Structure 1
Amino acid sequence: MTGHRGTQPDDARLFAPDRVPILRRAVTDLAWLLTRGYGADSALRLVGDHFQLTSRQRLAVGRSSCSDAARDGRARRRLALAACRFQPLVIDGYNLLITLESALASGCLLRGRDGAIRDLASVHGSWRRVAETERAIRVVADALRSAEAGPVTWFLDAPVSNSGRLKTLLQTTGTALDLPWTVELTMNADRAILATGLPVVSSDSWILDEAAAWVNLAAEVLPGITPPPPVLDLQAPDPPPDRTAPLPSPEQGVRATSRGGSGALPAPRRATPSRGAERLFRAAIRGDTGVGQARSRSALWRGGRRASRAAGRVGPGGGGPTPGRSAPPRGAQPPSRGTSRGRRRERPTSGRSGLPPMRPRR
Protein backbone atom coordinates (compact mmCIF):
# COMPACT_ATOMS: atom_id res chain seq x y z
CA MET A 1 0.00 0.00 0.00
CA THR A 2 1.10 3.59 -0.63
CA GLY A 3 0.91 6.58 1.67
CA HIS A 4 1.97 7.25 5.21
CA ARG A 5 0.31 8.34 8.40
CA GLY A 6 0.73 11.46 10.50
CA THR A 7 3.44 13.40 8.65
CA GLN A 8 3.08 16.97 7.41
CA PRO A 9 5.66 19.19 5.71
CA ASP A 10 5.49 21.95 8.34
CA ASP A 11 6.09 19.70 11.35
CA ALA A 12 9.86 20.20 11.23
CA ARG A 13 9.37 23.94 11.57
CA LEU A 14 6.41 23.97 13.97
CA PHE A 15 8.06 21.55 16.39
CA ALA A 16 11.68 22.60 16.01
CA PRO A 17 13.90 22.45 19.14
CA ASP A 18 13.59 26.20 19.68
CA ARG A 19 9.77 25.87 19.83
CA VAL A 20 9.74 23.14 22.46
CA PRO A 21 10.19 25.47 25.50
CA ILE A 22 7.28 27.60 24.30
CA LEU A 23 5.07 24.55 23.84
CA ARG A 24 5.97 23.29 27.31
CA ARG A 25 5.02 26.62 28.83
CA ALA A 26 1.74 26.46 26.95
CA VAL A 27 1.10 22.95 28.31
CA THR A 28 1.86 24.20 31.82
CA ASP A 29 -0.50 27.17 31.51
CA LEU A 30 -3.27 25.01 30.06
CA ALA A 31 -2.85 22.48 32.88
CA TRP A 32 -3.06 25.32 35.40
CA LEU A 33 -6.39 26.45 33.94
CA LEU A 34 -7.79 22.92 33.67
CA THR A 35 -6.87 22.23 37.28
CA ARG A 36 -9.00 25.19 38.33
CA GLY A 37 -12.05 24.06 36.40
CA TYR A 38 -11.81 26.11 33.22
CA GLY A 39 -13.39 24.66 30.10
CA ALA A 40 -10.97 22.81 27.84
CA ASP A 41 -11.93 24.61 24.62
CA SER A 42 -11.92 28.13 26.05
CA ALA A 43 -8.72 27.51 28.01
CA LEU A 44 -6.93 26.15 24.94
CA ARG A 45 -8.09 29.14 22.90
CA LEU A 46 -6.79 31.52 25.56
CA VAL A 47 -3.41 29.81 25.81
CA GLY A 48 -3.07 29.47 22.05
CA ASP A 49 -3.79 33.15 21.51
CA HIS A 50 -1.35 34.12 24.24
CA PHE A 51 1.54 32.15 22.74
CA GLN A 52 0.40 32.78 19.13
CA LEU A 53 0.27 29.07 18.29
CA THR A 54 -0.88 27.60 15.01
CA SER A 55 -3.79 25.18 14.81
CA ARG A 56 -1.44 22.17 14.69
CA GLN A 57 0.56 23.43 17.66
CA ARG A 58 -2.67 23.94 19.60
CA LEU A 59 -3.64 20.38 18.76
CA ALA A 60 -0.35 19.17 20.24
CA VAL A 61 -0.76 21.29 23.39
CA GLY A 62 -4.36 20.17 23.89
CA ARG A 63 -3.50 16.47 23.56
CA SER A 64 -0.48 16.74 25.86
CA SER A 65 -2.06 18.64 28.74
CA CYS A 66 -4.44 17.60 31.50
CA SER A 67 -5.36 18.70 34.99
CA ASP A 68 -3.34 17.70 38.02
CA ALA A 69 -6.14 15.45 39.28
CA ALA A 70 -6.35 13.64 35.92
CA ARG A 71 -2.59 13.18 35.78
CA ASP A 72 -2.41 11.76 39.31
CA GLY A 73 -5.37 9.44 38.73
CA ARG A 74 -3.94 8.06 35.51
CA ALA A 75 -0.59 7.47 37.18
CA ARG A 76 -2.26 5.39 39.92
CA ARG A 77 -4.17 3.22 37.42
CA ARG A 78 -1.31 2.68 34.99
CA LEU A 79 -0.07 -0.90 34.57
CA ALA A 80 3.04 -2.26 32.92
CA LEU A 81 2.51 -4.80 30.18
CA ALA A 82 4.44 -7.37 32.20
CA ALA A 83 1.78 -7.12 34.93
CA CYS A 84 -0.83 -8.45 32.47
CA ARG A 85 0.72 -11.89 32.09
CA PHE A 86 -2.02 -14.45 31.53
CA GLN A 87 -4.54 -11.68 32.15
CA PRO A 88 -7.32 -10.62 29.77
CA LEU A 89 -6.67 -7.36 27.97
CA VAL A 90 -8.69 -5.11 25.65
CA ILE A 91 -7.22 -2.87 22.95
CA ASP A 92 -8.61 0.37 21.59
CA GLY A 93 -7.88 -0.68 18.03
CA TYR A 94 -7.78 2.51 16.00
CA ASN A 95 -6.13 4.46 18.80
CA LEU A 96 -3.18 2.08 19.07
CA LEU A 97 -2.76 1.29 15.37
CA ILE A 98 -2.79 4.92 14.20
CA THR A 99 -0.17 5.85 16.80
CA LEU A 100 2.12 3.01 15.75
CA GLU A 101 1.58 3.76 12.05
CA SER A 102 2.68 7.34 12.70
CA ALA A 103 5.71 6.12 14.67
CA LEU A 104 6.81 3.76 11.89
CA ALA A 105 6.40 6.57 9.33
CA SER A 106 8.63 8.86 11.45
CA GLY A 107 5.68 11.09 12.21
CA CYS A 108 5.63 13.47 15.14
CA LEU A 109 4.67 11.81 18.43
CA LEU A 110 3.82 13.49 21.73
CA ARG A 111 4.59 12.52 25.31
CA GLY A 112 2.07 14.31 27.48
CA ARG A 113 1.84 15.11 31.17
CA ASP A 114 0.43 11.66 31.92
CA GLY A 115 3.27 9.91 30.06
CA ALA A 116 1.01 8.54 27.32
CA ILE A 117 2.23 8.55 23.72
CA ARG A 118 -0.09 10.28 21.28
CA ASP A 119 0.04 11.22 17.61
CA LEU A 120 -1.09 14.19 15.56
CA ALA A 121 -2.86 12.20 12.84
CA SER A 122 -6.39 13.36 12.10
CA VAL A 123 -8.76 10.50 11.31
CA HIS A 124 -12.40 11.60 11.29
CA GLY A 125 -14.70 8.70 10.49
CA SER A 126 -12.40 7.35 7.80
CA TRP A 127 -9.44 4.99 7.99
CA ARG A 128 -7.39 3.61 5.15
CA ARG A 129 -4.61 1.11 5.05
CA VAL A 130 -1.11 2.57 4.70
CA ALA A 131 2.34 1.14 4.14
CA GLU A 132 2.98 0.73 7.88
CA THR A 133 -0.29 -1.01 8.84
CA GLU A 134 0.87 -4.64 8.72
CA ARG A 135 4.15 -3.84 10.45
CA ALA A 136 2.28 -2.00 13.22
CA ILE A 137 0.10 -5.08 13.83
CA ARG A 138 3.18 -7.29 14.04
CA VAL A 139 4.82 -4.91 16.54
CA VAL A 140 1.78 -5.30 18.79
CA ALA A 141 1.79 -9.07 18.32
CA ASP A 142 5.45 -9.36 19.27
CA ALA A 143 4.94 -7.28 22.43
CA LEU A 144 1.92 -9.31 23.56
CA ARG A 145 3.68 -12.60 22.88
CA SER A 146 6.78 -11.53 24.84
CA ALA A 147 4.65 -10.48 27.83
CA GLU A 148 2.40 -13.57 27.53
CA ALA A 149 -0.62 -11.31 27.91
CA GLY A 150 -4.03 -12.55 26.93
CA PRO A 151 -6.57 -13.38 25.91
CA VAL A 152 -6.77 -10.10 23.94
CA THR A 153 -9.84 -8.44 22.44
CA TRP A 154 -9.61 -5.72 19.82
CA PHE A 155 -12.46 -3.19 19.66
CA LEU A 156 -13.09 -1.28 16.43
CA ASP A 157 -15.67 1.41 15.67
CA ALA A 158 -18.09 0.00 13.12
CA PRO A 159 -19.09 3.44 11.68
CA VAL A 160 -15.48 4.09 10.60
CA SER A 161 -14.92 3.18 6.99
CA ASN A 162 -12.85 0.07 6.18
CA SER A 163 -13.44 -1.35 9.69
CA GLY A 164 -14.47 -4.68 8.18
CA ARG A 165 -11.25 -4.93 6.20
CA LEU A 166 -9.15 -4.13 9.26
CA LYS A 167 -11.04 -6.77 11.25
CA THR A 168 -10.21 -9.38 8.60
CA LEU A 169 -6.55 -8.34 8.59
CA LEU A 170 -6.31 -8.61 12.39
CA GLN A 171 -7.98 -12.02 12.45
CA THR A 172 -5.71 -13.32 9.70
CA THR A 173 -2.58 -12.07 11.47
CA GLY A 174 -3.68 -13.54 14.80
CA THR A 175 -4.33 -16.95 13.24
CA ALA A 176 -0.99 -16.93 11.40
CA LEU A 177 0.93 -16.06 14.57
CA ASP A 178 -1.15 -18.35 16.78
CA LEU A 179 -2.21 -15.49 19.07
CA PRO A 180 -5.29 -15.71 21.29
CA TRP A 181 -7.06 -12.55 20.21
CA THR A 182 -10.49 -11.70 18.89
CA VAL A 183 -11.86 -8.64 17.08
CA GLU A 184 -15.17 -6.94 17.88
CA LEU A 185 -16.98 -4.35 15.77
CA THR A 186 -19.24 -2.08 17.81
CA MET A 187 -21.08 1.16 17.25
CA ASN A 188 -19.37 2.81 20.23
CA ALA A 189 -16.02 1.23 20.94
CA ASP A 190 -15.19 3.50 23.87
CA ARG A 191 -18.24 2.51 25.90
CA ALA A 192 -17.86 -1.14 24.97
CA ILE A 193 -14.27 -1.07 26.21
CA LEU A 194 -15.23 0.48 29.54
CA ALA A 195 -18.10 -1.97 29.96
CA THR A 196 -15.64 -4.88 30.13
CA GLY A 197 -13.96 -3.53 33.26
CA LEU A 198 -10.61 -4.94 32.06
CA PRO A 199 -7.25 -3.20 31.61
CA VAL A 200 -7.24 -1.31 28.33
CA VAL A 201 -4.50 -0.39 25.87
CA SER A 202 -5.27 3.17 24.82
CA SER A 203 -4.14 6.79 25.05
CA ASP A 204 -7.60 8.31 24.76
CA SER A 205 -8.00 10.79 27.61
CA TRP A 206 -11.63 9.95 28.32
CA ILE A 207 -10.91 6.22 28.47
CA LEU A 208 -7.87 6.75 30.71
CA ASP A 209 -10.00 8.73 33.18
CA GLU A 210 -12.79 6.14 33.29
CA ALA A 211 -11.00 2.80 32.93
CA ALA A 212 -10.11 0.65 35.92
CA ALA A 213 -6.55 0.27 34.60
CA TRP A 214 -4.64 1.06 31.42
CA VAL A 215 -1.45 -0.01 29.69
CA ASN A 216 0.81 2.42 27.84
CA LEU A 217 1.73 -0.13 25.19
CA ALA A 218 2.89 2.41 22.62
CA ALA A 219 5.50 3.79 25.02
CA GLU A 220 6.80 0.28 25.76
CA VAL A 221 7.30 -0.72 22.11
CA LEU A 222 8.87 2.54 20.88
CA PRO A 223 12.44 1.61 21.96
CA GLY A 224 12.34 -1.42 19.65
CA ILE A 225 11.35 0.55 16.54
CA THR A 226 14.12 1.41 14.07
CA PRO A 227 14.76 4.10 13.12
CA PRO A 228 13.55 5.60 16.39
CA PRO A 229 10.62 7.96 15.75
CA PRO A 230 10.83 11.57 16.94
CA VAL A 231 9.02 12.01 20.24
CA LEU A 232 8.20 15.53 21.37
CA ASP A 233 8.43 15.42 25.16
CA LEU A 234 5.94 17.96 26.51
CA GLN A 235 5.95 16.65 30.07
CA ALA A 236 6.13 20.14 31.48
CA PRO A 237 7.18 20.56 35.11
CA ASP A 238 4.71 21.54 37.77
CA PRO A 239 3.64 25.19 37.79
CA PRO A 240 5.73 27.51 39.97
CA PRO A 241 4.65 27.90 43.61
CA ASP A 242 3.24 31.41 43.19
CA ARG A 243 0.75 30.09 40.61
CA THR A 244 -0.40 27.09 42.59
CA ALA A 245 -0.67 28.88 45.95
CA PRO A 246 -4.23 29.66 47.11
CA LEU A 247 -5.49 33.16 46.65
CA PRO A 248 -4.82 35.42 49.68
CA SER A 249 -7.62 36.13 52.09
CA PRO A 250 -9.06 39.64 52.37
CA GLU A 251 -7.09 40.12 55.61
CA GLN A 252 -3.83 39.32 53.84
CA GLY A 253 -4.50 41.51 50.85
CA VAL A 254 -4.18 40.80 47.19
CA ARG A 255 -1.92 43.65 46.18
CA ALA A 256 0.90 42.73 48.54
CA THR A 257 0.79 39.09 47.45
CA SER A 258 0.95 39.95 43.76
CA ARG A 259 4.05 42.04 44.39
CA GLY A 260 5.87 39.20 46.12
CA GLY A 261 5.38 40.49 49.66
CA SER A 262 4.48 38.60 52.79
CA GLY A 263 0.76 38.85 52.09
CA ALA A 264 -0.16 41.50 54.68
CA LEU A 265 -1.20 44.96 53.59
CA PRO A 266 1.18 47.72 54.70
CA ALA A 267 -0.02 50.02 57.44
CA PRO A 268 -1.63 53.17 56.01
CA ARG A 269 0.56 56.23 56.23
CA ARG A 270 -0.86 59.15 58.15
CA ALA A 271 -0.91 62.40 56.24
CA THR A 272 1.28 65.06 57.86
CA PRO A 273 0.05 68.63 57.32
CA SER A 274 2.36 71.60 57.03
CA ARG A 275 3.21 73.74 60.05
CA GLY A 276 0.97 76.57 58.91
CA ALA A 277 -1.98 74.24 58.47
CA GLU A 278 -1.31 72.66 61.87
CA ARG A 279 -1.45 76.08 63.56
CA LEU A 280 -4.74 76.78 61.82
CA PHE A 281 -6.15 73.45 63.00
CA ARG A 282 -5.24 74.12 66.58
CA ALA A 283 -6.66 77.62 66.37
CA ALA A 284 -9.89 76.31 64.91
CA ILE A 285 -10.16 73.70 67.65
CA ARG A 286 -9.75 76.36 70.31
CA GLY A 287 -12.59 78.32 68.72
CA ASP A 288 -10.54 81.11 67.22
CA THR A 289 -12.28 80.65 63.85
CA GLY A 290 -15.72 79.54 62.83
CA VAL A 291 -14.40 76.34 61.36
CA GLY A 292 -14.17 74.53 64.65
CA GLN A 293 -17.89 74.98 65.28
CA ALA A 294 -18.82 73.03 62.17
CA ARG A 295 -16.26 70.23 62.14
CA SER A 296 -14.94 67.78 64.66
CA ARG A 297 -11.29 67.37 65.61
CA SER A 298 -10.76 64.28 63.43
CA ALA A 299 -12.50 65.81 60.44
CA LEU A 300 -10.28 68.88 60.69
CA TRP A 301 -7.14 66.76 60.72
CA ARG A 302 -8.26 64.87 57.63
CA GLY A 303 -9.53 67.86 55.82
CA GLY A 304 -6.21 69.69 55.91
CA ARG A 305 -5.86 72.11 53.08
CA ARG A 306 -9.57 72.55 52.37
CA ALA A 307 -10.17 73.85 55.88
CA SER A 308 -7.15 76.10 55.65
CA ARG A 309 -8.24 77.62 52.35
CA ALA A 310 -11.75 78.12 53.67
CA ALA A 311 -10.27 80.15 56.54
CA GLY A 312 -8.37 82.28 54.02
CA ARG A 313 -4.95 81.87 55.64
CA VAL A 314 -3.18 79.28 53.49
CA GLY A 315 -2.63 79.47 49.75
CA PRO A 316 -3.04 76.63 47.29
CA GLY A 317 0.43 75.30 48.12
CA GLY A 318 -0.27 75.13 51.84
CA GLY A 319 2.78 77.22 52.79
CA GLY A 320 1.29 80.55 53.79
CA PRO A 321 -1.34 83.18 53.07
CA THR A 322 -2.76 83.59 49.61
CA PRO A 323 -0.87 86.30 47.68
CA GLY A 324 -2.70 89.61 47.68
CA ARG A 325 -4.86 88.70 50.68
CA SER A 326 -4.06 89.54 54.27
CA ALA A 327 -4.82 87.15 57.05
CA PRO A 328 -7.92 88.03 59.13
CA PRO A 329 -7.32 89.22 62.68
CA ARG A 330 -7.32 86.75 65.54
CA GLY A 331 -10.84 85.78 66.55
CA ALA A 332 -12.50 87.13 63.40
CA GLN A 333 -15.08 85.06 61.55
CA PRO A 334 -14.24 83.93 58.01
CA PRO A 335 -15.63 86.27 55.36
CA SER A 336 -18.78 85.30 53.53
CA ARG A 337 -18.74 84.34 49.91
CA GLY A 338 -20.84 87.29 48.83
CA THR A 339 -24.03 87.46 46.84
CA SER A 340 -22.73 87.87 43.32
CA ARG A 341 -24.34 85.92 40.53
CA GLY A 342 -23.19 82.34 40.28
CA ARG A 343 -22.43 82.07 44.00
CA ARG A 344 -24.62 80.54 46.63
CA ARG A 345 -26.18 82.92 49.12
CA GLU A 346 -25.62 82.36 52.80
CA ARG A 347 -28.70 80.89 54.40
CA PRO A 348 -29.73 82.26 57.79
CA THR A 349 -29.26 80.00 60.73
CA SER A 350 -31.19 79.61 63.92
CA GLY A 351 -29.95 78.66 67.34
CA ARG A 352 -26.64 77.07 68.15
CA SER A 353 -27.02 74.13 65.84
CA GLY A 354 -25.98 76.10 62.76
CA LEU A 355 -28.88 74.59 60.78
CA PRO A 356 -31.25 76.67 58.61
CA PRO A 357 -34.56 77.58 60.24
CA MET A 358 -37.45 75.21 59.67
CA ARG A 359 -40.32 76.40 57.53
CA PRO A 360 -43.74 76.35 59.16
CA ARG A 361 -46.14 73.75 57.89
CA ARG A 362 -49.11 75.01 55.92
Structure 2
Amino acid sequence: MLGKNVKIKEEQHKEMAEAARDIRYLLQRGYPRDSSIRFAGDHYLLDKNERYILARTVFSTGTAIARKNKKLRCQELKGRTLLIDGYNVLITLESLLKGGDLWRADDSFLRDIKGMFRSHSNDRSTFEAVEEMLSFLASSEVKKAIVLLDTQMKNSGELAALIRKRMEELSIKGDAETSRHVDYDLKNCEPSSVVATADGIVIDSVNNVVDIPACIFQTWNKE
Protein backbone atom coordinates (compact mmCIF):
# COMPACT_ATOMS: atom_id res chain seq x y z
CA MET A 1 0.00 0.00 0.00
CA LEU A 2 1.55 3.28 -1.14
CA GLY A 3 0.31 5.25 1.85
CA LYS A 4 2.30 3.19 4.31
CA ASN A 5 5.48 4.76 2.95
CA VAL A 6 4.30 8.35 3.37
CA LYS A 7 6.29 10.77 5.51
CA ILE A 8 4.67 13.52 7.55
CA LYS A 9 6.19 16.94 6.96
CA GLU A 10 7.14 18.95 10.01
CA GLU A 11 9.89 21.11 8.58
CA GLN A 12 9.75 23.96 6.08
CA HIS A 13 12.34 25.66 3.93
CA LYS A 14 14.11 28.66 5.45
CA GLU A 15 11.70 31.37 4.26
CA MET A 16 8.61 29.42 5.38
CA ALA A 17 10.18 28.65 8.75
CA GLU A 18 10.97 32.32 9.30
CA ALA A 19 7.48 33.32 8.17
CA ALA A 20 5.98 30.77 10.60
CA ARG A 21 8.06 32.24 13.42
CA ASP A 22 6.85 35.76 12.59
CA ILE A 23 3.22 34.66 12.34
CA ARG A 24 3.41 33.06 15.79
CA TYR A 25 4.93 36.27 17.14
CA LEU A 26 2.13 38.40 15.69
CA LEU A 27 -0.60 36.02 16.83
CA GLN A 28 0.77 36.03 20.37
CA ARG A 29 0.39 39.79 20.38
CA GLY A 30 -3.20 39.74 19.24
CA TYR A 31 -2.86 40.55 15.55
CA PRO A 32 -5.58 39.13 13.26
CA ARG A 33 -4.72 35.74 11.81
CA ASP A 34 -5.36 36.56 8.14
CA SER A 35 -3.40 39.80 8.34
CA SER A 36 -0.49 38.07 10.06
CA ILE A 37 -0.25 35.39 7.38
CA ARG A 38 -0.56 37.96 4.59
CA PHE A 39 2.11 40.21 6.14
CA ALA A 40 4.60 37.36 6.60
CA GLY A 41 3.80 35.89 3.18
CA ASP A 42 4.41 39.24 1.46
CA HIS A 43 7.60 39.86 3.43
CA TYR A 44 9.15 36.50 2.51
CA LEU A 45 7.67 36.44 -1.03
CA LEU A 46 5.84 33.18 -0.45
CA ASP A 47 3.59 31.70 -3.11
CA LYS A 48 -0.09 30.81 -2.68
CA ASN A 49 0.58 27.19 -1.77
CA GLU A 50 3.16 28.09 0.87
CA ARG A 51 0.77 30.58 2.45
CA TYR A 52 -1.97 27.96 2.51
CA ILE A 53 0.34 25.53 4.31
CA LEU A 54 1.11 28.17 6.94
CA ALA A 55 -2.58 28.93 7.35
CA ARG A 56 -3.27 25.24 7.99
CA THR A 57 -0.36 24.58 10.34
CA VAL A 58 0.77 27.67 12.27
CA PHE A 59 -0.99 28.78 15.46
CA SER A 60 -0.31 30.82 18.55
CA THR A 61 1.23 29.00 21.49
CA GLY A 62 -1.97 29.41 23.50
CA THR A 63 -4.16 27.92 20.77
CA ALA A 64 -1.76 25.04 20.17
CA ILE A 65 -1.58 24.13 23.86
CA ALA A 66 -5.35 24.38 24.36
CA ARG A 67 -5.99 22.03 21.43
CA LYS A 68 -3.34 19.53 22.52
CA ASN A 69 -4.94 19.41 25.97
CA LYS A 70 -8.26 18.33 24.39
CA LYS A 71 -6.68 15.60 22.32
CA LEU A 72 -7.18 12.01 23.48
CA ARG A 73 -4.63 9.31 22.88
CA CYS A 74 -5.56 6.73 20.27
CA GLN A 75 -5.93 4.12 23.01
CA GLU A 76 -8.45 6.15 25.03
CA LEU A 77 -11.59 5.58 22.96
CA LYS A 78 -12.86 2.31 24.44
CA GLY A 79 -16.46 2.70 25.59
CA ARG A 80 -16.73 6.29 24.32
CA THR A 81 -19.28 7.80 21.94
CA LEU A 82 -17.50 9.16 18.87
CA LEU A 83 -18.77 11.78 16.40
CA ILE A 84 -16.77 11.81 13.18
CA ASP A 85 -16.33 14.79 10.87
CA GLY A 86 -16.67 12.46 7.89
CA TYR A 87 -15.08 14.26 4.97
CA ASN A 88 -12.46 15.94 7.14
CA VAL A 89 -11.23 12.53 8.28
CA LEU A 90 -11.70 10.65 5.01
CA ILE A 91 -10.01 13.20 2.75
CA THR A 92 -6.97 13.26 5.03
CA LEU A 93 -6.91 9.46 4.99
CA GLU A 94 -7.10 9.52 1.20
CA SER A 95 -3.99 11.71 1.16
CA LEU A 96 -2.26 9.19 3.42
CA LEU A 97 -3.24 6.30 1.19
CA LYS A 98 -2.05 8.12 -1.94
CA GLY A 99 1.23 9.19 -0.37
CA GLY A 100 0.28 12.86 -0.61
CA ASP A 101 1.73 15.76 1.36
CA LEU A 102 0.54 15.91 4.96
CA TRP A 103 1.76 18.27 7.66
CA ARG A 104 1.80 17.99 11.43
CA ALA A 105 0.62 21.40 12.66
CA ASP A 106 1.64 23.37 15.74
CA ASP A 107 -1.45 22.02 17.51
CA SER A 108 -0.25 18.44 16.76
CA PHE A 109 -3.07 17.60 14.32
CA LEU A 110 -2.35 16.05 10.94
CA ARG A 111 -3.60 18.11 7.98
CA ASP A 112 -3.56 17.78 4.22
CA ILE A 113 -3.05 20.87 2.08
CA LYS A 114 -5.11 20.13 -1.02
CA GLY A 115 -8.11 22.29 -0.19
CA MET A 116 -10.25 19.98 -2.31
CA PHE A 117 -13.42 19.59 -0.25
CA ARG A 118 -15.90 21.07 -2.71
CA SER A 119 -14.40 19.27 -5.72
CA HIS A 120 -14.12 15.91 -3.96
CA SER A 121 -15.68 12.86 -5.56
CA ASN A 122 -15.82 9.31 -4.26
CA ASP A 123 -13.32 6.93 -5.82
CA ARG A 124 -11.33 3.84 -4.91
CA SER A 125 -9.20 5.72 -2.39
CA THR A 126 -12.39 6.97 -0.67
CA PHE A 127 -13.58 3.42 -0.13
CA GLU A 128 -10.12 2.37 1.07
CA ALA A 129 -10.19 5.31 3.50
CA VAL A 130 -13.58 4.15 4.78
CA GLU A 131 -12.17 0.68 5.43
CA GLU A 132 -9.17 2.10 7.29
CA MET A 133 -11.40 4.33 9.41
CA LEU A 134 -13.84 1.56 10.28
CA SER A 135 -11.05 -0.90 11.02
CA PHE A 136 -9.66 1.62 13.50
CA LEU A 137 -13.09 2.09 15.10
CA ALA A 138 -13.57 -1.65 15.46
CA SER A 139 -10.18 -2.13 17.10
CA SER A 140 -10.80 0.87 19.39
CA GLU A 141 -13.94 -0.73 20.84
CA VAL A 142 -15.93 2.51 20.82
CA LYS A 143 -19.38 2.43 22.40
CA LYS A 144 -20.96 4.11 19.38
CA ALA A 145 -19.78 6.02 16.31
CA ILE A 146 -21.76 8.57 14.30
CA VAL A 147 -20.23 9.58 10.97
CA LEU A 148 -21.48 12.96 9.70
CA LEU A 149 -21.16 13.81 5.99
CA ASP A 150 -21.87 17.20 4.41
CA THR A 151 -25.04 17.08 2.32
CA GLN A 152 -23.48 19.58 -0.10
CA MET A 153 -20.81 17.09 -1.13
CA LYS A 154 -21.36 15.03 -4.27
CA ASN A 155 -22.83 11.56 -3.61
CA SER A 156 -22.72 12.03 0.17
CA GLY A 157 -25.93 10.03 0.55
CA GLU A 158 -24.48 7.03 -1.27
CA LEU A 159 -21.31 7.22 0.80
CA ALA A 160 -23.34 7.35 4.03
CA ALA A 161 -25.26 4.24 2.94
CA LEU A 162 -22.02 2.40 2.22
CA ILE A 163 -20.57 3.33 5.61
CA ARG A 164 -23.76 2.23 7.40
CA LYS A 165 -23.64 -1.13 5.60
CA ARG A 166 -19.98 -1.71 6.46
CA MET A 167 -20.52 -0.65 10.08
CA GLU A 168 -23.26 -3.25 10.40
CA GLU A 169 -21.06 -5.92 8.81
CA LEU A 170 -18.21 -5.08 11.20
CA SER A 171 -20.55 -4.96 14.22
CA ILE A 172 -19.77 -1.30 14.91
CA LYS A 173 -22.68 0.34 16.71
CA GLY A 174 -23.71 3.71 15.33
CA ASP A 175 -24.78 5.33 12.09
CA ALA A 176 -23.67 7.42 9.13
CA GLU A 177 -25.75 10.49 8.35
CA THR A 178 -25.77 13.46 6.01
CA SER A 179 -26.20 16.96 7.38
CA ARG A 180 -26.39 20.50 6.03
CA HIS A 181 -24.60 21.79 9.12
CA VAL A 182 -21.95 19.26 10.17
CA ASP A 183 -19.82 21.84 12.01
CA TYR A 184 -22.83 22.97 14.06
CA ASP A 185 -23.75 19.38 14.90
CA LEU A 186 -20.22 18.62 16.06
CA LYS A 187 -19.82 21.82 18.08
CA ASN A 188 -23.09 21.16 19.89
CA CYS A 189 -22.55 17.52 20.75
CA GLU A 190 -22.78 16.09 24.26
CA PRO A 191 -19.84 17.32 26.37
CA SER A 192 -18.74 13.74 27.08
CA SER A 193 -18.59 12.78 23.39
CA VAL A 194 -15.34 12.58 21.45
CA VAL A 195 -15.14 14.42 18.12
CA ALA A 196 -12.87 13.15 15.36
CA THR A 197 -11.71 16.12 13.29
CA ALA A 198 -8.77 18.38 12.48
CA ASP A 199 -11.02 21.41 11.92
CA GLY A 200 -9.64 24.04 14.26
CA ILE A 201 -12.94 25.87 14.73
CA VAL A 202 -14.63 22.65 15.80
CA ILE A 203 -11.73 21.62 18.04
CA ASP A 204 -11.94 24.95 19.86
CA SER A 205 -15.64 24.37 20.59
CA VAL A 206 -15.62 20.84 22.03
CA ASN A 207 -14.14 19.07 25.05
CA ASN A 208 -12.60 15.89 23.63
CA VAL A 209 -10.97 15.34 20.26
CA VAL A 210 -9.14 12.54 18.47
CA ASP A 211 -7.04 12.61 15.30
CA ILE A 212 -8.01 9.39 13.50
CA PRO A 213 -5.64 9.79 10.49
CA ALA A 214 -2.71 10.33 12.88
CA CYS A 215 -3.75 7.24 14.87
CA ILE A 216 -3.87 5.13 11.70
CA PHE A 217 -0.52 6.49 10.52
CA GLN A 218 0.93 5.61 13.92
CA THR A 219 -0.42 2.06 13.55
CA TRP A 220 1.18 1.69 10.13
CA ASN A 221 4.57 2.65 11.53
CA LYS A 222 4.32 -0.07 14.17
CA GLU A 223 3.79 -2.79 11.60
Q: What TM bracket, shorter-length normalisation?
A: 0.7 to 0.9
Of residues 161, 174, 183 in structure 2, which corresponds to 1:190?
183
Q: Please, which runs of 5 or more residues in structure 1 have no aligned partner?
A: 1-15, 229-362
**TM-score scaled by length of structure 1:** 0.55
Of residues 86, 105, 120 in structure 2, which corresponds to 1:112?
105
Q: How many residues are paired up? A: 212
> Could you tell me whether the CA contact under 8 Å between 2:136 and 2:216 is conserved in 1?
yes
* Cα distance in 2, alignment partners of residues 17 and 147 from structure 1: 27
> Could you tell me whether the CA contact under 8 Å between 2:10 and 2:103 is conserved in 1?
no
Which residue does the alignment assign to 1:27?
A: 20
Task: Tell me whether 159-168 or 50-59 shows the greater mean CA deviation.
Answer: 159-168
Give the greater-gyration-radius structure (CA).
1
Which residue does the alignment assign to 1:159?
A: 152
Instruction: Quickly say closer, same or farther: Cα 1:148–1:69, change in 2 above 3 A.
Output: same
SS in 1 for 2:164: helix
* Cα distance in 2, alignment partners of residues 31 and 151 from structure 1: 38
Of residues 88, 99, 105 in structure 1, which corresponds to 2:92?
99
Structure with greater helix percent: 2
* Cα distance in 1, alignment partners of residues 105 and 181 from structure 2: 25
SS in 1 for 2:142: coil
Of residues 212, 216, 221 in structure 2, which corresponds to 1:217?
212
Which residue does the alignment assign to 2:201?
A: 206
Of residues 32, 46, 54 in structure 1, which corresponds to 2:39?
46
Structure 1 ranges of 4+ moved more than 6 A: none
Q: Does 2:130 match 1:129?
A: no
Matches within 5 A, 1:1-362: 19-197=12-190, 198-225=193-220
Give, in angstroms, the shift of residue 194 of structure 1: 1.5
Instruction: Quickly say closer, same or farther: Cα 1:53–1:212, change in 2 above 3 A.
Output: same
AA of the residue aligned to 1:145: A
Q: Please, which runs of 5 or more residues in structure 2 have no aligned partner?
A: 1-8
Instruction: Quickly say closer, same or farther: Cα 1:219–1:29, change in 2 above 3 A.
Output: same
Give, in angstroms, the shift of residue 18 of structure 1: 9.1
Instruction: Quickly say closer, same or farther: Cα 1:122–1:17, change in 2 above 3 A.
Output: closer
Identical-pair percentage? 28
